[in-house]
Structure 1
């Protein structure tokens, strides 16, 4: 029996935004969709960064006005990505090694197609 892959538990579609989007608007969209991260993409729909709820907490602690800030100003650009056919144990190890809880899923052309989160992994394991 082969091991489960990212495709078995990833969330798709994923909310993607551009670096120029206002932080407050993106936060509202995240709240509306009950999600904890967004992937920032470039014109080719390739990942340029990620912004998580933790990043918003940091912004608030730093006194950033979300009506004056863009997500591009606060996104993490050193991101880890994965493919849908990556084994779950491998992506979980990468998440742990990098101390992250969200990994954008990209296709063969490096376009964002989904996201896998620690919550997705937990749900998948609980359902097994």
Structure 2
């Protein structure tokens, strides 16, 4: 039975939290990636950022519905959600934009386990981390397809 370490891409491209959103977008386009892990100076996973995160940053933000009552404002929607979306829209670095709750793979996980996780969570790629949380590779749906169908030339 094959494991993640047998099929993962070992040279994972990563970025740092202080990378600009613009530079990250260029990197994703240049390499045809849909997302990239974010690591600290030691290579420890801090988060991930995807095309969707960057696109969402440019989307229209709706302010929360409010009701004016006796000279004050009563929020009908959560202002916390609005403030988070506003922070993302104004973010200049990936550290402000990245998702910090990341599902990862371990090198010894089976391909079946990872494929099941990918499908159930609708995630296209997982950073592969060692016991210290350092990114040692990435496994994507394409890596699994290559393994399943022995398509060496893809």
Band of TM-score, shorter chain: 0.7 to 0.9
**Equivalent residue, structure 2, for 1:108:** 131
CA–CA separation in structure 2 for the residues paired with 1:55 and 1:49: 12
> For 1:120 and 1:53, how far apart are their aligned partners in 2?
19
> TM-score normalised to the size of structure 2?
0.71
Aligned to 1:9: 7
The gaps in structure 2 that reach 5 residues or longer are 62-88
Q: How many residues align?
A: 124
State the alpha-carbon separation in 1 of the partners of residues 142 and 92 from structure 2: 28
Q: CA deviation at 1:62?
A: 4.1
1:1-128 pair list within 5 angstroms: 3-62=1-60, 64=89, 69-127=92-150
Tell me, in whole angstroms, the C-alpha distance in 2 between the residues paired with 1:52 and 1:99: 13
Q: Flag the structure with larger Rg.
A: 2
Separation in 1, partners of 2:51, 2:144: 18
How far apart in 1 are the matches of 2:5 and 2:12? Answer: 13
- Kindly state the Cα deviation for residue 89 of structure 1 after the two structures are TM-superposed: 0.5
Unaligned runs of 5+ in 1: none
SS of match in other structure, 1:17: coil
SS at match of 1:7: helix
TM-score, with length taken from structure 1: 0.84
Q: CA RMSD in A?
A: 1.9
